[in-house]
Copies of this chain bind each other. A is one copy, B any other.
Amino acid sequence: MSEEKYVIDTSLFVNPYARKKFGKTPTTAVKSFIKKVSKSEIDIYMPPLVFKELNNFVEKDAIDELELVIRKRAPNTYSIYLPAAVLYDFIEDIRARMNKGMRLAEQFAQDNRPDNDEKLRKLREKYREAMRSGIIDSKEDFELVLLAKELDATLVSADEGVLKFADQVGCEWLPAERFHDLIKKKS
């Protein structure tokens, strides 16, 4: 089994639990990742949008080095077809979340105590949790799964929403925190 393909998510370096075996910070994790991957025969891909996102968390010298080790490629979203049922489920899910967001907004609008800063912090936290956790909520998430599908690659992520979507479209995946052990085995 050589020439295996993997599509990696930023969560591999950004999520502290996922990067634990690679390094303490996103930057040290990327540097250790580069060393280990260079010795193996596997191909690592990242969608350009996801690579760009990683720039916000990792120092420039590590990013520059990473760019030469991985392959950047976007999925062709115009040539890939998905079962309509996937969008159907998504619409259902979004509708429930919108209703939940509405109830949260009502609840906070009714609370007329003057502690506004604390109130707003709580509102944001609860709203984000209700709207975005466990669902693909960005172009980046979507591109990860679509690229893995297009390449018939294994997706490596610690994002619950991304992995759930991967299952819906029949895409192979590995939890990000297992990737260190995988490379070790392959080297």
Copies of this protein in the complex? 2
Apart from A77-B83, A80-B84, A91-B139: 5 A-B pairs, beta carbons within 8 A: A77-B88, A84-B146, A108-B109, A109-B120, A110-B116
The answer to whether B75 touches A84 (Cβ under 8 A) is yes
Q: Is the interface of A mostly helix, strand, loop or mixed?
A: helix
Collect the chain B residues with CB atoms within 8 Å of residue A83's CB: 77-82
A interface, CB within 8 angstroms of B: 75, 77-88, 90-92, 94-95, 98, 101-102, 104-106, 108-114, 116, 119-120, 123-124, 127-128, 131-132, 136-139, 141-142, 146
The verdict on A139 contacting B92 (CB below 8 Å), with A101-B98, A124-B102 known, is yes
